Each structure stands twice: as C-alpha cells, then as structure tokens.
Structure 1
C-alpha cells in the first residue's frame, strides 16, 4: 500500500536514519482530508489541525509522541442543536521499521509500520480522536432534550411545557363524558 507523498498526515523520517536517539520535531498545521470522529461529532474534512510532534528513532522504529488538535462540529445527542468545540489528542505510537523484530512478530492491527521511509499518522489520529470524543455529545450537561410528544427543544419551550395525556384504556370513557357534558349544557 503506497502512501501519497503530499498527504497531510504523512511524515518523511529519512532524516532520522536508523540511528537510535536521533530526533526531530514537527510543528505544522494541516488540513484534514477526511472527517475524523464519531457519528454525532467530528473534525470535519477541510478543517485545520495543529500537529505538535516529536519523532524519535528507536531500535525497532520511530516513536511518535505529541499532540494533535482540531475544531469539532456536531450536534447535541439530546436536543439535536449544533455544537462546536476543540479536541486535543495525545499520541504515543511506535511505527515499526520494515524487517524489524516488532514488524515481523506483530500483526497489522497491533502496530503501525514505516513504508518507504514515511509514516502515515491518519489511522493513529482516527483512533485517538475517536476515543477522545464523546459518543453522545451534549450542548450542556443539563440539556433537557426534546419534548417526546411534539419535538420542541425543551430548553426554549415555555415554562411548564406539557401535553395532557389520557391513558388509552380510558380514552373511550373520555368521549362519553364529554358527550354527557354537552347534553347537560344543551
């Protein structure tokens, strides 16, 4: 699987060589080519992300540590109102050298790999952001949500918003009582 050289999350690690202890810092702002997050909230495609990373050559690969930060957009899980915020994730990931013991003895799902002297942070960022963002984001902790009967946002509904509910087992009697009242007034 070849990596695009100009992909925003791909970093060239040739300058580190395979000399344990060599280090480089990466400080850049990139535009996310994909949506990263959960169904209800995410860093949208086209959003800038700040990467502040340290790349360290170790005997088995390149250790990437640092932070990635981006603006999020989504909707409240209770009232469906739009919400915005910022997510910062902390990365500590090993990218294994080709033919290293780690690369040979670890399955594809357990470790990231260096390909053509480049590392691709995309999957590491997807995993980290997905774990950091809430599955059910809220506009505020005490969001009352939507009215179950009419769908109005309860935070902006009039005080005491409610609907008269009649137990369906008694609904037939309600009609007869109203008819008796109408006969008595007639």
Structure 2
C-alpha cells in the first residue's frame, strides 16, 4: 500500500513525532507481510556536514519497503533530497541532490536480536509499533556527501590578496595580480620624505 505524494495523511505510516517515524502496526508481526511507502516529507532539520547538506524544510522523497521478518522490521529503499552548501575553495553557493539507499533492521521487543544487542545504536528498535529512520538517514547522508564540495572541479579558489573568487576574473584580458612591496623595504618606503623636505 503506497502513501500519497502530499505529506502526512490519513492511513499514511507517518508518525506524529517526526516525518521519519513510520507506523508499522499494519505489519502485525507476521513474517512475510510487507507494506510500501512512497511519500515526500519535509526535512525536520538540516541534515548533512559542515559545508553542504539538506536544508531544513527541504522536500525529502522516501521510496521504501517495510517487511516483517522473524526478528523485526526490515526497511529498505531510497531516500533522496536537494542539497545546498558552499564551495570549499571559493565559498560560492552550490546546489545539488543526494540519494541514499537504506537497509535497516529494527528489532521487535523481546526478540533474540533485541536481547543480544547491548548497544542502542547497534540495531534499531520497534517502539510502540513505529520505527525511527531519522538517525540512519542522518548517518547515510553524512557519508554520501562530499567533505569538500566544489562549484566546479577546477575551481581556482580565492585570491589570497583581495579575497575575490578567481573564477570571476578568468575572462579578463589582464591577469589578476597585486603589486606587493617586499616587507624588508616597506619600512624604508614609509620613512621616505618628499623631495621638498629634507633640504635646508
């Protein structure tokens, strides 16, 4: 059974706490039963790394399959969304898209999997007939995004003297440069007197 493309609605497996909390009560803990979820939700917060990420409120497409297995609920499918950030070399805005593929097992209460996993982040849990995909999505998006995003592969970066993006001056006839006074002579230049002074 598929959800609509218009966010939470009656009969949708979206939970009340977060758009990434899905209601799995319809599976009924019957191994082999399955439901599908195809919906677009809003990112509840920014998801990503320092220079690039999915902005808060951006549309996140969820195309998922939820299957009941003997130990819990297996969630698999794709999550995709637009990204915004800035170039790591010239700091100009960059936009793009990210798509991740999820395969996450959420253990039923009192199952063998639940009983043999001590760490809370080792495996997800089915809690009150829901599964929370927020942390798996955050982790997968963070691994997929480029650590140093670029506006283009050969971005020349910023001018070290004036800080303007060098890509903006590439088409100029004259090369972009600055006359730099050797620091050893800078003090002498400051002490130099006009021609009409120093004569007496």
TM-score by length of 2: 0.81
- CA deviation profile, 1:89-133 (whole Å, cap 9, x unmatched): 110111111111211221112111110000011111111111111
Query: How many residues end up aligned between the 2 structures?
Result: 179
- CA deviation profile, 1:51-95 (whole Å, cap 9, x unmatched): 000111111111111000111111111111111111111101111
Residue of structure 1 equivalent to 2:144: 132
Structure 1 distance, partners of 2:179, 2:187, is 16
Structure 2: segments with no counterpart, 5+ residues = 1-14
1:161-172 equivalence runs, <5 A: 161-172=176-187
- CA deviation profile, 1:164-183 (whole Å, cap 9, x unmatched): 3344345456668x87xx79
Structure 1: segments with no counterpart, 5+ residues = none
CA RMSD, aligned part only?
Answer: 2.2
1:164-183 equivalence runs, <5 A: 164-172=179-187
Residue of structure 1 equivalent to 2:110: 99
* Higher-RCO chain (CA-CA 8 Å, sequence separation at least 6): 1
Structure 2 distance, partners of 1:53, 1:94, is 13
Residue of structure 1 equivalent to 2:91: 80
Structure 1 distance, partners of 2:153, 2:18, is 38
Structure 1 distance, partners of 2:125, 2:183, is 62
Structure 2 distance, partners of 1:68, 1:14, is 22
SS at match of 1:72: strand
